Structure 1
Amino acid sequence: MLTLTSGAVQVIRTVTANPELPPETGIRIEPGTQGADALQLSVAPAPEAGDQVVEEEGARVYLEPGVAQLLDDKTLDAAVDPQGDVSFTIAEGTGTP
């Protein structure tokens, strides 16, 4: 199962903390449109049917079924640069949540 670093947990919680969003809002990862290895991340109000749900410390990630298989042994990390732009990275193996 995909694991989340503490940085990813913090960023996801910050991105989904808008009080106007439903409480189960999370980040959804699905196949991208730019090639076989491309993934697309978006803010989602809830998981879609068949999604695998990864939840840690209030951060929710919804994985499209094919993506869940692809990322089964991976770690999701996130960082915010000085300009406030968020970047997510996926690494091999499990990280420290």
Structure 2
Amino acid sequence: MLAITDTAAEAIKSLTTDAELPEGGGLRIAAPSPEQGLELSLAGQPGTDDVVLSGDGVAVFLEPVAAQVLDDKVLDVQPVQGADGEQELRFAIGPQQTEPEA
């Protein structure tokens, strides 16, 4: 299942609050063309077949194909140098870290 870092959860919470989404709204991740990448958008409610991840006041809706693609991934936020030289924060998908066996 997709893991969400605390930093990403804070960013999602901020985005959904700023967008004044209704209660239960969240970030939706879809894979309309998986080979083209993923599509992130804000949604007032999940789609009919979406997998819903929620906790700590944050909701993420995963379209079924996206849920499959992201099953072993982690959603994070990373600073990126913007075109204007300013630092921007962007969502990033990475592999989940596995705990080394003792």
Bin for the TM-score computed over the shorter chain:
0.7 to 0.9
Counterpart Cα distance in 1 of 2:15 and 2:29? 14
Q: Is this contact kept in 2: 1:75–1:90, CA < 8 A?
A: yes
Q: Can you give the 5+ residue segments of structure 1 that lack an aligned partner in the other structure?
A: none
Q: How does 1:1-97 map to 2 (within 5 A)?
A: 1-18=1-18, 20-32=20-32, 36-79=35-78, 83=86, 85-94=88-97
- Cα RMSD of the aligned pairs, angstroms, is 2.3
Aligned residues: 94
Q: Per residue, is there more helix in 1 or in 2?
A: 2
The verdict on how the C-alpha distance between 1:9 and 1:23 changes in structure 2, with shifts beyond 3 A counting, is same
Greater strand proportion? 2
Distance in 1, Cα, partners of 2:73 & 2:24: 23
- For residues 87 and 55 of structure 2, what CA distance do their matches in structure 1 show? 23
Question: Which has the greater radius of gyration?
Answer: 2
* Cα distance in 2, alignment partners of residues 45 and 94 from structure 1: 31
The more displaced of 56-65 and 19-28 is 19-28
Deviates more, 1:65-74 or 1:85-94: 85-94
Q: Is contact 2:21-2:43 (8 Å) kept?
A: no
Aligned equivalents of 1:93, 1:58: Cα separation in 2: 22
Report % sequence identity. 36
Larger relative contact order, structure 1 or 2 (CA cutoff 8 Å, min sep 6): 1
